[in-house]
Amino acid sequence: MKIYTATDFKDMSRKAANIISAQIILNEKSVLGLATGSSPIGVYQQLIEWYKKGDVDFSSVTTINLDEYVGLAPDDPHSYRYFMKKYFFSHINIHESNTYLPNGLQKSQEFECMRYECIIRNNGGIDMQLLGLGHNGHIGFNEPNAAFEADTHCVTLSQDTREANKRFFDTIDDVPRQAYTMGIKTIMQARRIVVIVSGESKAEIVKRSFFGSITPDVPASVLQLHNNVTLVGDKAALSLI
C-alpha cells in the first residue's frame, strides 16, 4: 500500500485529484469508480479547476458510482445522482450517458443489482475506485459484518449510518432506510483503489482498517488484501499510524 500524507483537506484533495488526472491522461477511456460524501468534494473541485484550465479531458471517461439510496429519484436533491451532478458532472465535459449510478427507483432489487454488475462488466471493470471511509470502517454502504464475497446488493442502513448521513437531510426520518451499494467483492475487483481520509475523527478507523486485523467487523480492512491501494490522508487522519 502506498500512503501519501497531506497537510490538510485541500492538500489531500489536490494529491488525490493528481492521481485521478494522471490515470485519465494515461488512459483517456478510464473507468472511474466514484464516491459521494464530504471527503471527495475537494477532489471534484480540483478536477473541475484543472478541466477548466484545459489540463484534463473527461470526454471519453466513464464513471460508475458506489451507491444510491433506494426510493429517491435522480432529480431528488438528496439522491447521489443529484450530488454527483451538482459537485462534478455538470461542471466537466463528461457525457451523461457515460455516468452510472444505481437506479434508486428500481423496485426489483434483484434486477437492479444484476444490471449494475453487468454495467461494470460491460465497461471492462473499474480502473480506479475512489473511496471514502466511514467512521465504523464502512466502504460504500458495506457496514460492519457485510460479507466480503458480496457483489452489488441492497442494504438496510444501520442507525449509525443514518445518523451520520442526516446532516444532508432535514430530519433523521427523511434519511432513506435502504440503499443499493457495490459489494466488497465488486470494490475489490477494481484494478486500483484510492482511499481518501481527512480529519482527526477518522484517525482511529484508519489505524484499525489498514494496520489492524482483517475482519468483517471493519469492512475496509479487506483492502489490506488488495494489491494496489493508495491511501491519501491529511496529517490529522493519519496521526495514529
Using an 8 Å Cβ cutoff, are 137 and 205 in contact? yes
* Cβ–Cβ under 8 Å, residues 169 and 53: no
Closest-CA residue to 63 (of 150, 155, 182, 147): 182
Cα–Cα distance measured from residue 183 to residue 26, given in angstroms and rounded to the nearest whole number: 28
**CA distance linking residue 52 with residue 28, whole number of Å:** 17
Answer for which of 13, 23, 36, 221 binds ligand F6R (CB under 6 A) is 36
Indicate the residue whose CB is closest to ligand F6R: 132
Residue 71: other Cβ atoms inside 10 A = 14
Question: Per the residue annotation, which of 57, 91, 136, 204 is the catalytic one?
Answer: 136
Contact 109, 68 (CB under 8 A): no
Binding segment for ligand F6R among 1-9, 35-43, 86-94, 99-107 (CB under 6 A)?
Answer: 35-43
Mention every residue, 6+ apart, whose C-beta is less than 8 A from residue 134: 143, 161, 164, 205, 220
**C-alpha angle with apex 123: 148 to 126, nearest 5 degrees?**
40
Picking from 96, 91, 69, the residue whose alpha carbon sits closest to that of residue 80 is 69
Window contacting ligand F6R (CB under 6 A); options: 2-10, 15-23, 29-37, 111-119: 29-37
Applying CB under 6 A, the site for ligand F6R has a residue count of 14
138 is catalytic: yes
**Residue 201 grid cell:** 475523527
Piece of the chain touching ligand F6R by CB under 6 A; list 15-23, 48-56, 98-106, 135-143:
135-143
**Residue among 222, 189, 192 nearest 208 (CA):** 222
Choosing from 9, 16, 21, 37, the residue that interacts with ligand F6R (CB under 6 A) is 37
Q: Which C-beta is closer to ligand F6R: that of 21 or that of 137?
A: 137
Q: Which of 24, 43, 66, 128 binds ligand F6R (CB under 6 A)?
A: 66
- Asked whether position 140 contacts ligand F6R by CB under 6 A, the answer is yes
Length of the chain: 241
Nearer to ligand F6R, 23 or 132 (CB): 132
39 is an interface residue for ligand F6R by CB under 6 A: yes
Nearer Cβ to ligand F6R (6/139) = 139
Contacting range for ligand F6R; rule: CB under 6 A; set: 5-13, 87-95, 136-144, 212-220: 136-144
Active-site residue, 110 included:
no
Instruction: Give the other-Cβ count within 10 Å of 149's Cβ.
Output: 9
Q: Which is nearer to ligand F6R, 36 or 221 (CB)?
A: 36
> What minimum distance in Å lies between the beta carbon of 14 and ligand F6R?
17
Residues that bind ligand F6R (CB under 6 A): 35-39, 66-67, 132-134, 138-141
Active-site residues: which are they? 67, 136, 138, 143
